[in-house]
């Protein structure tokens, strides 16, 4: 049986990719040359905001006062979960020391970057969870300075809940800046701040392009496209829950793909029949996004069996992967390409997006085939070191000299030669390429 597409996407994440490179490059060049004043100009132009850029302690306190106590408790709950998971991740990194040969030691150290820049979207939705995900992991990693920036709203500034979340999660500086100007301010060290060593966090196509251009000048977590989600479901799945999960992810944006992969044609048809009513029941802005995403980007695929389903999923390498099927251990062992995995109907992508502890900054557009999502590890530099006694270097020096000469790198060979001559005078070594 070949795979059957009950619904095929008419567009892909690259279909409406406009050429934003020149626009973003011009803004970055402008800001690099014009400094803080140019950042303020772009804030006024794009954010419609002329207030304070770097929030003061009093402004942070005032924003926190506007956040309801119940929401504060929820933010703290999510922060605690993300922090504890990040701490467990960090514990998997350890310094290593190994005696390569007697007397010759080598090792690795995990060192956090000095300054992290966290971009927190705040346009269509107030991405409170993005503040939690990005700032908390940087704090646990041990970064010395954590900057957070989020688009302000005209006459309001940054959403108070975002300010509160960034603050309690450990941001040292919070800025009211969106888009390219926010990314540039963190990268170039505007307003007296340190230059970011790494930029993290999701954003629109302009933010993504800015990170792409600046990569190399600064580290980045990843270049993110539209969010995407795939559900693997067999005949045991609840079609209403499957349909609800698909719609919940389609509301992210008009170009956010959702995919259903199943080996049960009846289930697929049942899910498809439920989708329109679930979309219609959403609030207007959510409804518009979900309707467009389902119409243009969604796919429903019927496979021969669960092995074919798994192979199909791995080929898509989705950002979010949900399994609502029997024998969850089999799926966990078999699947290999995803940003984050959600096993069983008792969990859902929404949990991971907001509060369960795993990070929601994840690879999109198939990037999960070669990379994972944001974690403590993204902020860490794994560096190596070596130290040796003179006797310990003897064998290494000889091998180095001969390999270097075989490669034609005489300077490298002589760096080994001089040590052998100094440490072991009178000894004869055959250091030729064919020795």
Mind listing the pLDDT tens digit for each residue in 10-52?
988 665 556 789 999 999 999 999 999 999 999 999 999 999 9
Is residue 87 located within the same domain as residue 200? yes
pLDDT (tens digit per residue) in 90-104: 999 999 999 999 999
The two structure tokens encoding residue 76: 């703290």
* Domain count across the chain: 3
For residue range 136-164, what is the model confidence (pLDDT) as tens digits?
Answer: 999 999 999 999 999 998 888 999 999 99
Query: What number of helices (H) and strands (E) belong to the chain?
Result: 15, 14
Q: Are residues 208 and 233 in the same domain?
A: no
Asked if 152 and 281 sit in the same domain, the reply is: no
CA distance linking residue 189 with residue 196, whole number of Å: 7
Listed residues 221, 240, 266: the one ending a domain = 221
Give 435's pLDDT tier (boundaries 50, 70, 90): low
List residues with catalytic annotation. Answer: 319-320
Same domain, 198 and 274: no
| Cβ within 8 Å of residue 364, ≥6 positions away | 13, 224, 225, 226, 227, 228, 319, 339
Q: Say if CB 324 and CB 238 are below 8 A apart.
A: yes
Helix or strand or coil: residue 427?
Answer: coil
pLDDT digits (tens, 9 = 90+) for 302-319: 999 999 999 999 999 999
Q: Would you call 119 helix, strand, or coil by DSSP?
A: strand
Domain of residue 334: give its range: 226-372
Q: Is residue 384 part of a domain?
A: no
CA dihedral angle for residue 310, residue 312, residue 314, residue 316, rounded to 10 degrees: -150
pTM: 0.93
**Pair 142, 199 in one domain:** yes
Distance CA 310, CA 316 (A): 10
Give the lowest-confidence range in 191-195, 224-228, 230-234, 336-340. Answer: 224-228
Residue 149 lies in a domain: yes
Query: Does 394 lie in the same domain as 349?
Result: no
Q: What is the pLDDT of residues 373-411, one digit of tens each?
A: 999 999 999 999 999 999 999 999 999 999 999 999 999
Q: Are residues 156 and 270 in the same domain?
A: no
- Same domain assignment for residues 209 and 263: no
């Amino acid at each position: 049986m070949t795979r059957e597409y009950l619904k095929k996407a008419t567009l892909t994440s690259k279909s409406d990719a406009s050429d934003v490179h020149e626009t973003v490059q011009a803004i970055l060049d402008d800001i690099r040359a014009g400094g803080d004043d140019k950042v303020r100009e772009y804030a006024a132009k794009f954010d419609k905001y002329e207030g304070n850029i770097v929030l003061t302690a009093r402004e942070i306190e005032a924003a926190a006062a506007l956040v309801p106590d119940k929401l504060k408790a929820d933010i703290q709950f999510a922060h605690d979960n993300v922090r504890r998971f990040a701490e467990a991740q960090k514990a998997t990194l350890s310094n290593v020391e190994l005696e390569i040969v007697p007397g010759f030691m080598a090792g690795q150290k995990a060192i956090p970057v000095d300054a992290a820049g966290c971009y927190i979207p705040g346009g269509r939705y107030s991405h409170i969870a993005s503040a939690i995900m990005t700032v908390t992991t940087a704090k646990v990693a041990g970064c010395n300075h954590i900057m957070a920036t989020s688009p302000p709203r005209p006459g309001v500034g940054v959403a108070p809940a975002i300010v509160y979340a960034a603050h309690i999660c450990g941001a040292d500086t919070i800025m009211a800046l969106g888009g390219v100007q926010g990314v540039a301010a963190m990268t170039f060290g505007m307003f007296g701040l340190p230059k970011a060593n790494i930029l993290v966090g999701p954003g629109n196509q302009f933010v993504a392009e800015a990170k792409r251009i600046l990569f190399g000048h600064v580290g980045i977590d990843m270049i993110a496209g539209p969010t995407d989600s795939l559900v693997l479901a067999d005949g045991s799945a609840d079609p209403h829950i499957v349909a609800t999960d698909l719609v919940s992810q389609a509301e992210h944006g008009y170009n956010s793909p959702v995919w259903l992969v199943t080996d049960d044609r009846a289930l697929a048809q049942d899910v498809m029949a439920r989708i329109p009513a679930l979309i219609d029941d959403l609030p207007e802005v959510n409804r518009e996004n979900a309707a467009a995403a389902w119409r243009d980007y969604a796919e429903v695929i019927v496979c021969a069996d669960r092995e074919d389903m798994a192979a199909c999923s791995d080929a898509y390498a989705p950002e979010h992967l949900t399994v609502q099927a029997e024998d969850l251990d089999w799926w966990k062992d078999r699947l290999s390409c995803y940003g984050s995995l959600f096993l069983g109907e008792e969990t859902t992508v929404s949990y991971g997006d907001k509060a369960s502890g795993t990070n929601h900054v994840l690879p999109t557009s198939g990037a999960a085939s070669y990379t994972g999502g944001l974690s403590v590890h993204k902020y860490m530099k794994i560096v190596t070191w070596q130290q040796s006694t003179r006797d310990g270097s003897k064998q290494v020096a000889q091998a180095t000299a001969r390999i270097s000469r075989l490669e034609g790198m005489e300077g490298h060979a002589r760096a080994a030669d001089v040590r052998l001559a100094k440490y072991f005078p009178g000894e004869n070594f055959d250091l030729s390429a064919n020795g």
